[in-house]
Amino acid sequence: MNPEMIGLKRRFICDEMLNRLARWLRAAGYDTEQVAHGVNDRDLMAHAVASDRLILTRDHKFLERRGSASQVFLVISGAIDEQAHELTAPLGINWLKAPFSRCLMDNAPLRPAIKAEIDDLPWPSQSLTGPFTTCPDCGRHYWTGSHTLRMRDKLEAWTRGQFERVSI
CB 141 within 8 A of CB 117: yes
Tell me the pLDDT tens digit for each residue of 119-134.
Answer: 888 877 777 777 999 9
Sequence-ordered list of residues with C-beta below 8 angstroms from that of 12, at least 6 positions apart, any chain = 22, 25, 30, 31, 32, 33, 53, 54, 55, 56
**Does residue 3 have a pLDDT over 50?**
no
Q: What is the H or E stretch that residue 111 is in?
A: strand 111-112
**Does residue 5 have a pLDDT over 70?**
no
Kindly report whether the global pTM for this prediction surpasses the value 0.85. yes
Tell me the pLDDT tens digit for each residue of 75-98.
Answer: 999 999 999 999 999 999 999 999
Picking from 16-25, 68-77, 125-134, which range would have the lowest pLDDT averaged per residue?
125-134
CB 70 within 8 A of CB 60: no
Sequence-ordered list of residues with C-beta below 8 angstroms from that of 21, at least 6 positions apart, any chain = 14, 56, 75, 80, 83, 84, 87
